[in-house]
Amino acid sequence: MDLRRVPVAKLATVRIVIALAIVKNRPLCQLDVNNAFLHCYLDEEVYMVPPAGYKKARKGQVCKLKKSIYGLKQASRQWNKELSKLLKNLGFQQSKQDYSLFTMSLEGEFLVILLYVDDMLITGTSTAQIDGVKKALDKAFTIKDLGDLKYFLGIEITRNSDGTFLSQRKYIKDVIFYAGMDDCSAGAVPFPSLKLSTEHGELLKEPDVYRRLVGRLLYLGITRPDLSYSVQHVSQFMHSPRVLHLRAALHVLRYLKGTINCGLWFSAHSSLDLSAYSDTDWGGCQFSSRSLSAYTVFLGSNLKSWKTKKQRSGQ
């Protein structure tokens, strides 16, 4: 694990934790740590130029930091170490498959905490133990208890007795607005019948517009497996986007406008049997002659993971 990186949970893990809480009918709460990075003492010497307005420093003097601050490259590492240390002291064990996942078995009860920087999901079999963990976290860092999970990482979560619906409706509306496509007509299919090439077509004068759009489409992969092929296809041209590439990406937005209410449904009545499916074509990429592979993984009837990827070599 690279501790210089911000500790974030894998999106598949997020979906699994939510689905298990739904199937097992367990509470699912969200917490936020106030000013998380400012709670951490540095374990190395770090200096900074005195900030503007600070007049006590003489010419040539610098400030030695005792605690991490936002914008410091060591801040996320220190926060991860501090929070992991506390959770382990409380009795949690860190998963080796996903370092942001912590579990604890205590007095016949089972608790799960999932971290995404300073946001946390907590679920378990005992409401009393969940409340105890909240109090311990609040004493150490000061937390904001956001109650039952309703909105997380741009995902809207709607729960009832039959299951939970995950969608990114608000995020989709924002992406369409930023692209100036509010008045566009809805598209029936996620990808147009265009032959895209890495070499032919007019280059975009502002390639960053395309890159930002594709980046936003990639984030929709959290709840929209139907976009997997389309987004994989348009993301191949980030280094040198052309007019046709942008037209294809904007077509994806037209499709999203017509399917804005779509998302993932996690049934509360699902089994916990694991099943997986895969498929591949034969040299389907028209400009590299490589094959495309795809897979889906289900936990019972609930879809948990999926991917479309171009193979490394041609067939």
Judge whether residue 106 has pLDDT over 70: yes
Residue 103 in contact with residue 16, Cβ under 8 Å? no
> Which percentage of the chain shows pLDDT scores above 90?
54
Residue 23 in contact with residue 268, Cβ under 8 Å? yes
The whole-angstrom separation of Cα 179 and Cα 23 is 38
Judge whether residue 5 has pLDDT over 60: no
The whole-angstrom separation of Cα 215 and Cα 93 is 34
Task: State residue 284's pLDDT score.
Answer: 65
Task: State residue 7's pLDDT score.
Answer: 59
- What mean pLDDT do residues 186-203 have? 82
CATH annotation of 11-42+67-153: 3.30.310
Q: Which residue has the higher pLDDT, 152 or 197?
A: 152
Task: State residue 288's pLDDT score.
Answer: 66
pLDDT band at 286 (very low <50, low <70, confident <90, very high): low
- For the stretch 224-245, pLDDT in tens is 999 988 998 899 889 889 999 9
The whole-angstrom separation of Cα 149 and Cα 165 is 12
